[in-house]
C-alpha cells in the first residue's frame, strides 16, 4: 500500500484508540484528581465492563443492538456498584493513604481477575457489534463499527464534560478536588463525593470496555494494557487536568500508529514509549498541565 | 489436590512394602494393586503396588489458562483410563496437579516442589515455551524426567538437557517445514508472513522462509507484530499488492480480533490465506466475524471436526475426553477444545506408561531413572492406536522429539475439512543435537 | 533517629543473617531451595526499598534494573563465555550504567511523573529484550549451561548450581545488600535521603544538593536490583523476558509495602510472606491469586504501613 492510504489507515486506527483511551483515562484522572489515589484496579473495571457486556448481550441472543444497549447500561451499573463497595469497605478505611491504597487496589485487581476467571473462564469471548457494516475506501476496507465507537466515545466524553463543568455535582467534585478541608467545612459530604467519584471513574472504564468488546473480545487478562496506557495519558495530560487527559490520549493514540508507518512495529513502540517519557521529563507537569501549585 | 498431601505421607509409610493397603485411592485401584484384576496379574508380582506419582505442571491461571483447562481434562481422562485398565505395570497413576500461573519462575518452583515435596516419579504437561525453558534446568538439576507438551523448538534444538522429552507433539520447526511444499504447490509462491515479534513467531519466520525458498517460492514480506499489540488493522497495510498467500500465526486472546480485522480489511478481494490453528484454538468457528475465513486454510495437528474417514481411535479418544464431533465439550457445545494440542497430553502419558513398563522402573532411584530415560531414547515408532489417536509417529531418541503427520484443513461453512495430510518425513530435518552424549 | 543504640539494630540484623545461615542445616530440600530464591528476590526488594522507603521515590520500572543484571550476566556468560564472576560483574556494570543514565533523565521528574517515566523506560527495555530475540530468544529465554557455571578456587572448585553453593551465595548477596542498606540508612548520607523524603525543599535550602542525593539513591537501588538479577541468572540458570515485564516491577513494590517500606528488614519479610502465601494457597485452590488478593487487603487494613512499619509505630520504635 502506498504512503498516503497507509497514513490514513494509521490515523483512523489511532483515532479509535485515542477515543477509547480518553474514556478510560478520564475515569482514572478523575479519581486521581479528586481523591489523590492511584487506582491500580482501574484496568480491571475496564475488563469487567467488557466481560459483563458479553454476559448481558448473551441474555438477548439475536438482537445485538438491544444487547449492546443493555450492556452499556447494565455493565456501568454493576461496575459502579462494585466500585462503591470497594470504596466503602476498603479505601475509606485506609483513609486514602497513598501507599496502602496501592497495595489494596493491587489486591482488588487480583480478586476481580480471579473471580472473573472462575466464573467466566479463561477463554476470550466475542460479542456481536450492534451495527455491522464495512466502509470501503479505494485502497482498503474498514470496520463501520469502529466509526460508531468514535461517535459514541465522543458523545460520552461530552456528557462527562458537561456533568463536570455545568452541573452542581460537577461543582461539588471540583470543589472537593481543589480543597478537601474547605469543601468539608462548607457542608459538602466529602465521603459521599469520594464514593461517587470512584464509581464514576470505574463506570467510565466499564463503558470503554463495553465499546471495545465487539472489536477486541472479552478476556480476563485484558485489563493490564488499558491500565498502563491510562496511567501514561493521565500523567502526560497533567494530573487531574481533564482536558489535558483527553488531549494526551490523542498524542498517545496517534503517535504509536503514525510512527509505525516509518519503523518496524516493535521498534516503533519502543520509540513511541521513549518519546513520551522524554516529553514528560522535559515538561514535568505534563504536556498540558499548569505548573504545580 | 488436598488428598495428595495425605498420599505423600501414605507413600512414605508404604514405600517398598508390597503388602500394604493403599488408602484413598478407591476400590478399583486397590483391586488392581492387589492383583485381583486379571489384566494386572502379570505385573503384580514383579512390581511394588504403590502408585506411580506424576506431577502435572498445569497452566490453570495466567495467559495459558484457556489451553490449561483442556490439557487438564485430557490428562484426567487419560489417567482415569489407564487406571481403569490396570494402571502402569499394575500400579495406578496418582496425579498431582500444580498451577504454574504460566510463569517461568513459578514453573521452576513447581518442578522443584514436585521433586522434593510431592516426591513424584515424573513431571509432565507443560505447554508454554517460556515455562518449559524456565523449568527445564531445574528438572535437569534434580534429575527429574520431564515430559513437555509444548510444540516449541526448544527440546529438539539441543538447548535443554537429557531429562527433558517431547514425545507427544511435534515441534514448530517440523510443523512449519512440512507445510511449505503444499502451500507452494497449491496456494502460491509469493508469501507475506504475519507473526508475533518474539521467539515463537521468529521460529515461524526463520523456518518457513527457508522452507518456502526450497520450494521455489519466496517470503516477500515479514510483518512482525509487537507483543503488546491489541489491534492489527494497520499491519495489513504492509502486505504488498503482489502477495499470493498470507501466512499468519498469532497467539493469545487477541487472535480473533486479528482474523476479523483481516476480513474487514480485504473484503472479498483477498489473496489466499494460510494460518496456524493456534490462532483459533478454543475459539468457536461460528464466532461473529469469522465468516470471512471461509475458503481459507489452516494447519491442524489433529482435525478438530470429525472427518468422513475418522479413525476408530479418534472416535474412542473423543469419547473418553468428552469432546463431540465438532471439537467442543460434549456437555457444552460452546466450549471449544484445543484439539490440535491437547492430544499430546494423552499420548505422552502412554509414552510414559510404555517407558515404565519396558524399563522395569520401580522407584525414583538414579538407576531406575537412567533405565527409563534410556528406554524412552530407544523408542522409534508409535503405531496409530487408542494410545496414539492422532496418528503414527516417529520418535527421535537423539533429539528427544517426536515427529508426526500434519493436516491442512479448509474452512467450509464454518467447519474445518482436511484437504491434505503430510507424510511424517515431510517434517523431518537434520538433527542439531544429541542428548544421549550427556551424562545421566 | 529515635535515639536507639546502634548496637541493638546491628545485633538484630546479624541475628537474622545467622538464622538464615543456621536454618540451611535443618530445612527440608524444597524449602531449602525456596529460601535460596527468596534471599535473591529479597535483595531485589532491598534495592527497591532504598528508593521508595528511604528516599520517597516510587519507581514502577525496577524490572529494567533487575533485567539489566540478569541479561548482563546471562548474555556474557552464554554468548561470550565469561566465567561466572566476570559475568556477575558485567551484570553489575550493566545495571550501574543503566541506573546512572535513567537517573540523570528520570529524576528531573518527581512524584507520579517519576512513576510513569520509569514505567515507560522499563516497558521500552522489555520490548528491547524481545526485539533482540536473536541473542535473547525473547519471551522464551535461554538457559545457562551447567559447565559454564563452574567456579575454580585454588585446586578445587564448585558449581554454582550445587544447592549448598547456591544457598550460601544467595545468603552472601543478601548479607551484603542487607548490611549495606543498614549502613546506608544509619549514615549521614542516609539521613539526608530521609530528609529528602520528608521535605525536599527544606533539605535543599539547608544546602544539600537533593538531585545528587536522589541520583545516588537511585544508582545504589538500581545496582542492587541488578546484582540480584545477575545472581538469579547465575544461580537459577534461566534468563527470559518475563523478568523484564511489568509484573517484576510491581512485585518488589508489593513485597516492600507488605513488609514495611522504610524498614530494613521489611523487604525480606514481605518477599518471604508473599512467596509462601502463593505456595500454600496454590495447593488449596486453583484460584490462589484470589486468596493472595484478599490477604493483601486484609493485611493493608490491619497494617497500612506494612508489617514492620506498623510494628515500629506501635511496639518497637528503634527498628531501622
pLDDT for residue C2 is more than 70: no
pLDDT at A72: 92
Sheet holding B245-248, edge to edge: B218-225, B190-196, B245-248, B272-276, B297-300, B407-412, B415-421
pLDDT for residue B380 is more than 80: yes
Q: Is B189 helix (H, G, I), strand (E, B) or coil?
A: coil
CA distance B167 to B172: 14
Give the tens place of pLDDT for each residue, C64-110: 999 999 999 999 999 999 999 999 999 999 999 999 999 999 998 88
CA distance B51 to B3: 14
Residues of B in contact with C143 (CB under 8 A): 133, 136-137, 159-160
Nearest CB neighbour to B267, from listed A1, A124, A136:
A136
CA distance B324 to B336: 10
pLDDT at A237: 84
CA distance A48 to B288: 21
Q: Which residue of B has its CA nearest to A3?
A: B237
Paired with B191 in beta bridges are: B219, B245
Nearest CB neighbour to C119, from listed A111, A113, A228:
A228
pLDDT for residue C1 is more than 70: no
pLDDT at B48: 61
- What's the domain count of chain A? 1
Higher pLDDT, A191 or B9: A191
Higher pLDDT, B268 or C196: C196
Helix axes A3-35, A144-166, angle to 10 degrees: 30
CB spacing of C143 vs B137 below 8 angstroms: yes
Paired with B194 in beta bridges are: B223, B248
Complex ipTM, two decimals?
Answer: 0.88
CA distance C80 to C55: 37
pLDDT for residue B278 is more than 90: no
Give the tens place of pLDDT for each residue, C73-83: 999 999 999 99
Q: What is the mean pLDDT of residues C224-244?
A: 95
Nearest residue to B186 via CA among B272, B263, B298, B302: B272
CB spacing of A280 vs C113 below 8 angstroms: yes
Cα-based distances in Å from C18 to B14, C25, C316: 38, 12, 21
Least confident among A163-177, A272-286, B85-99, B269-283: A272-286
Least confident among A235-249, B173-187, C233-247, C265-279: A235-249
* Domain definitions of chain C by residue range: 27-246
End-to-end CA distance of chain C: 9
pLDDT at B34: 42
CB spacing of A232 vs C119 below 8 angstroms: yes
Grid cell digits, residue A246: 483527553
CB spacing of C33 vs B116 below 8 angstroms: yes
Q: What is the mean pLDDT of residues C105-117?
A: 84
Q: How far is B155 from chain A (nearest CA, A)?
A: 28
Higher pLDDT, B34 or C157: C157
Higher pLDDT, B13 or C118: C118
pLDDT at B171: 94
The answer to whether residue A58 sits within a structural domain is yes
Where residue B311 falls among pLDDT bands split at 50, 70, 90? very high
pLDDT at A267: 83
The answer to whether C132 and C225 have CB atoms below 8 angstroms apart is: no
Where residue B38 falls among pLDDT bands split at 50, 70, 90? very low
pLDDT at B199: 85
Q: Is C130 on the interface with B (CB under 8 A)?
A: yes
pLDDT at B169: 96
pLDDT for residue C289 is more than 60: yes
pLDDT for residue B154 is more than 50: yes
Please count the residue pairs, one from chain A and one from chain C, whose beta carbons lie less than 8 angstroms apart: 123
pLDDT at B12: 37
The answer to whether residue A262 sits within a structural domain is no
- Cα Rg for chain C, rounded, in angstroms? 19
Q: Which residue of A has its CA nearest to B289?
A: A128
* Residue-wise burial string across C186-205, b where 16 or more C-beta atoms lie within 10 A, e elsewhere: beebbebbbbbbeebeebee
Least confident among A276-280, B162-166, C280-284: C280-284
Paired with A218 in beta bridges are: A125
pLDDT for residue B139 is more than 60: yes
pLDDT at B13: 36
Give the tens place of pLDDT for each residue, C7-46: 888 899 999 999 999 999 999 989 999 999 999 999 999 9
Residues of A in contact with B223 (CB under 8 A): 265
The answer to whether residue A233 sits within a structural domain is no
Q: What is the mean pLDDT of residues B218-234?
A: 85
Paired with B55 in beta bridges are: B96, B123
pLDDT for residue C291 is more than 90: no
Within 8 A by CB and 6+ apart from B341, the residues are B67, B70, B71, B127, B149, B151, B169, B281, B301
CA distance B260 to B287: 10
Q: How far is A162 from chain C (nearest CA, A)?
A: 28
In this structure, the strands spanning B328-329 and B332-336 are antiparallel
pLDDT for residue B24 is more than 70: no
Handedness of CA C85, C88, C94, C100 (dihedral sign): negative
Please count the residue pairs, one from chain A and one from chain B, whose beta carbons lie less than 8 angstroms apart: 102
Q: What is the mean pLDDT of residues C167-192?
A: 94
CA distance A132 to C72: 51
pLDDT for residue A265 is more than 80: no
pLDDT at B341: 95
pLDDT at B422: 96
pLDDT at C238: 94
Nearest residue to B381 via CA among B167, B150, B75, B161: B167
CA distance C171 to C181: 15
- Residue C93 CB coordination number (10 Å): 18
Q: What is the mean pLDDT of residues C286-299?
A: 81
Q: How far is B353 from chain A (nearest CA, A)?
A: 31
Highest mean pLDDT among A16-25, B425-434, C193-202, C225-234: C225-234
pLDDT for residue B98 is more than 80: yes
Q: What is the mean pLDDT of residues C152-167?
A: 87
Give the tens place of pLDDT for each residue, A107-162: 999 999 999 998 988 888 888 888 878 888 888 878 888 899 999 999 999 998 89
Element (H, E) at B87: none
Q: What is the mean pLDDT of residues C272-297?
A: 82
CATH of C27-246, one of 1.20.1630.10, 3.20.20.60, 3.10.20.440, 1.10.3470.10: 1.10.3470.10
Within 8 A by CB and 6+ apart from A179, the residues are none
For residue B88, the 8-state DSSP code is B
Which residues span the domain enclosing A42?
A: 19-222
Within 8 A by CB and 6+ apart from C176, the residues are none
Domains, in order of start, for chain B: 2-170+341-403 (3.40.50.2300), 172-300+405-427 (3.40.50.2300)
The answer to whether B255 and B280 have CB atoms below 8 angstroms apart is: yes
Amino acid at each position: 500500500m502506498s504512503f498516503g492510504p497507509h497514513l490514513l489507515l494509521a490515523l483512523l486506527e489511532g483515532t479509535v484508540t485515542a477515543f477509547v483511551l480518553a474514556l478510560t483515562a478520564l475515569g482514572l484522572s478523575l479519581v486521581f484528581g479528586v481523591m489523590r489515589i492511584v487506582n491500580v484496579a482501574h484496568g480491571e473495571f475496564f475488563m469487567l465492563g467488557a466481560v459483563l457486556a458479553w454476559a448481558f448481550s448473551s441474555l438477548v441472543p439475536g438482537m445485538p443492538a438491544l444487547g449492546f444497549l443493555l450492556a452499556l447500561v447494565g455493565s456501568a451499573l454493576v461496575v459502579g456498584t462494585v466500585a462503591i463497595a470497594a470504596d466503602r469497605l476498603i479505601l475509606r478505611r485506609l483513609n486514602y493513604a497513598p501507599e496502602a491504597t496501592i497495595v489494596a487496589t493491587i489486591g482488588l485487581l487480583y480478586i476481580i481477575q480471579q473471580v472473573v476467571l472462575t466464573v467466566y473462564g479463561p477463554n476470550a469471548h466475542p460479542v456481536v457489534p450492534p451495527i455491522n457494516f464495512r466502509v470501503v475506501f479505494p485502497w482498503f476496507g474498514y470496520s463501520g463499527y469502529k466509526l460508531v465507537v468514535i461517535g459514541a466515545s465522543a458523545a460520552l466524553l461530552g456528557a462527562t464534560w458537561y456533568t463536570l463543568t455545568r452541573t452542581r455535582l460537577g461543582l461539588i467534585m471540583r470543589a472537593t478536588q481543589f480543597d478537601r478541608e474547605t469543601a468539608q467545612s462548607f457542608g459538602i459530604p466529602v465521603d459521599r463525593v469520594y464514593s461517587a467519584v470512584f464509581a464514576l471513574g470505574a463506570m467510565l472504564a466499564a463503558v470503554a470496555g463495553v465499546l471495545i468488546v465487539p472489536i477486541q473480545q472479552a478476556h480476563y487478562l485484558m485489563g493490564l494494557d488499558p491500565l498502563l496506557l491510562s496511567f501514561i495519558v493521565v500523567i502526560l495530560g497533567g494530573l487531574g487536568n481533564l482536558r489535558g487527559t483527553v488531549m494526551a490520549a490523542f498524542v498517545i493514540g496517534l503517535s504509536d500508529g503514525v510512527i509505525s508507518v516509518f519503523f518496524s512495529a516493535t521498534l516503533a513502540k519502543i520509540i513511541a514509549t521513549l518519546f513520551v517519557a522524554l516529553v514528560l521529563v522535559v515538561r514535568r507537569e505534563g504536556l498540558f498541565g499548569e505548573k504545580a501549585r | 489436590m488436598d488428598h495428595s498431601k495425605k498420599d505423600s505421607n501414605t507413600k512414605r509409610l508404604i514405600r517398598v512394602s508390597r503388602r500394604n493397603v493403599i488408602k484413598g485411592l478407591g476400590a478399583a485401584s486397590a483391586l488392581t494393586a492387589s492383583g485381583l484384576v486379571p489384566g494386572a496379574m502379570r505385573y503384580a508380582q514383579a512390581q511394588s503396588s504403590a502408585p506411580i506419582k506424576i506431577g502435572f505442571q498445569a497452566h490453570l491461571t495466567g495467559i495459558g489458562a484457556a489451553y490449561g483447562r483442556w490439557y487438564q481434562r485430557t490428562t484426567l481422562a487419560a489417567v482415569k483410563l489407564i487406571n481403569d485398565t490396570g494402571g502402569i505395570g499394575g500400579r495406578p497413576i496418582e496425579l498431582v496437579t500444580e498451577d504454574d500461573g504460566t510463569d517461568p519462575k513459578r514453573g521452576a518452583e513447581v518442578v522443584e516442589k514436585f521433586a522434593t515435596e510431592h516426591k513424584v516419579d515424573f513431571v509432565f504437561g507443560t505447554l508454554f515455551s517460556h515455562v518449559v525453558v524456565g523449568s527445564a534446568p531445574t528438572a535437569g538439576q534434580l534429575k527429574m524426567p520431564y515430559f513437555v507438551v509444548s510444540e516449541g523448538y526448544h527440546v529438539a534444538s539441543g538447548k535443554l538437557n537429557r531429562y527433558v522429552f517431547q514425545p507427544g507433539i511435534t515441534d514448530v520447526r517440523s510443523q512449519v517445514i512440512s507445510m511449505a511444499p503444499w502451500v507452494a504447490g497449491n496456494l502460491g509462491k509469493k508469501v507475506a508472513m504475519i507473526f508475533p515479534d518474539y521467539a515463537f513467531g521468529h521460529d515461524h519466520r526463520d523456518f518457513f522462509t527457508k522452507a518456502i525458498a526450497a520450494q521455489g517460492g519466496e517470503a516477500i514480506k515479514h510483518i512482525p507484530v509487537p507483543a503488546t499489540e491489541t489491534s492489527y488493522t494497520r499491519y495489513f497495510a504492509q502486505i504488498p499488492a503482489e502477495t499470493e498467500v498470507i501466512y499468519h500465526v498469532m497467539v493469545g486472546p487477541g487472535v480473533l480480533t486479528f482474523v476479523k480485522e483481516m476480513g474487514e480489511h480485504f473484503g472479498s478481494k483477498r489473496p489466499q490465506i494460510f494460518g496456524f490453528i493456534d490462532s483459533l484454538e478454543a475459539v468457536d468457528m461460528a464466532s461473529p466475524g469469522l465468516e470471512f475465513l471461509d475458503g481459507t486454510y489452516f494447519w491442524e495437528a489433529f482435525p478438530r471436526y470429525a472427518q468422513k474417514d475418522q479413525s476408530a481411535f479418534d472416535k474412542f479418544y473423543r469419547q473418553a475426553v468428552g469432546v463431540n464431533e465438532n471439537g467442543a465439550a460434549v456437555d457444552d457445545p460452546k466450549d471449544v477444545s484445543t484439539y490440535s494440542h491437547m492430544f499430546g497430553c494423552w499420548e505422552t502419558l502412554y509414552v510414559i506408561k510404555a517407558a515404565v513398563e519396558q524399563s522395569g522402573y520401580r522407584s525414583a532411584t538414579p538407576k531406575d531413572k537412567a533405565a527409563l530415560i534410556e528406554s524412552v531414547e530407544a523408542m522409534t515408532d508409535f503405531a496409530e492406536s487408542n494410545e496414539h489417536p492422532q496418528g503414527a509417529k516417529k520418535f527421535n531418541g537423539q533429539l528427544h522429539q517426536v515427529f508426526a503427520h500434519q493436516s491442512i484443513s479448509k474452512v467450509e461453512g464454518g467447519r474445518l475439512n482436511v484437504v491434505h495430510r503430510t507424510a511424517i518425513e515431510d517434517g523431518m530435518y537434520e538433527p542439531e543435537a544429541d542428548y544421549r552424549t550427556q551424562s545421566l | 533517629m529515635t535515639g536507639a543504640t546502634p548496637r541493638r539494630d546491628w545485633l538484630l540484623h546479624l541475628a537474622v543473617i545467622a538464622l538464615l545461615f543456621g536454618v540451611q542445616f535443618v530445612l527440608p530440600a524444597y524449602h531449602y531451595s525456596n529460601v535460596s530464591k527468596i534471599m535473591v528476590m529479597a535483595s531485589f526488594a532491598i534495592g527497591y526499598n532504598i528508593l521508595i522507603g528511604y528516599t520517597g521515590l516510587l519507581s514502577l520500572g525496577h524490572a529494567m534494573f533487575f533485567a539489566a543484571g540478569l541479561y548482563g550476566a546471562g548474555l556474557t556468560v552464554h554468548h561470550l563465555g565469561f566465567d561466572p564472576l566476570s559475568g556477575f560483574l558485567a551484570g553489575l556494570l550493566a545495571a550501574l550504567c543503566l541506573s546512572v543514565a535513567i537517573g540523570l533523565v528520570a529524576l528531573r521528574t518527581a512524584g507520579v511523573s517519576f512513576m510513569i517515566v520509569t514505567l515507560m523506560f522499563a516497558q521500552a527495555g522489555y520490548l528491547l529484550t524481545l526485539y533482540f530475540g536473536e541473542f535473547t530468544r525473547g519471551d522464551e529465554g535461554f538457559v545457562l549451561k551447567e559447565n559454564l557455571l563452574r567456579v575454580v578456587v585454588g585446586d578445587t572448585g564448585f558449581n554454582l548450581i550445587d544447592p549448598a553453593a547456591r544457598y550460601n551465595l544467595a545468603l552472601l548477596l543478601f548479607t551484603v545488600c542487607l548490611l549495606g542498606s543498614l549502613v546506608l540508612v544509619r549514615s549521614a548520607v542516609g539521613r539526608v535521603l530521609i530528609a529528602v523524603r520528608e521535605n525536599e525543599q527544606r533539605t535543599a535550602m539547608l544546602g544539600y544538593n537533593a538531585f545528587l542525593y536522589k541520583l545516588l539513591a537511585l544508582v545504589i537501588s538500581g545496582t542492587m536490583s541488578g546484582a540480584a538479577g545477575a545472581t538469579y541468572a547465575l544461580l537459577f540458570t534461566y534468563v527470559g523476558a518475563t523478568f523484564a515485564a511489568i509484573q517484576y516491577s510491581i512485585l518488589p513494590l508489593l513485597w516492600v509495602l507488605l513488609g514495611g517500606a522504610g524498614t530494613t528488614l521489611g523487604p525480606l519479610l514481605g518477599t518471604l510472606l508473599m512467596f509462601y502465601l502463593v505456595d500454600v494457597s496454590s495447593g488449596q485452590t486453583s484460584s490462589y491469586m484470589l486468596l493472595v488478593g484478599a490477604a493483601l487487603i486484609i493485611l493493608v487494613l490491619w497494617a497500612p504501613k506494612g508489617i514492620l512499619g506498623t510494628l515500629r509505630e506501635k511496639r518497637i520504635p528503634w527498628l531501622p
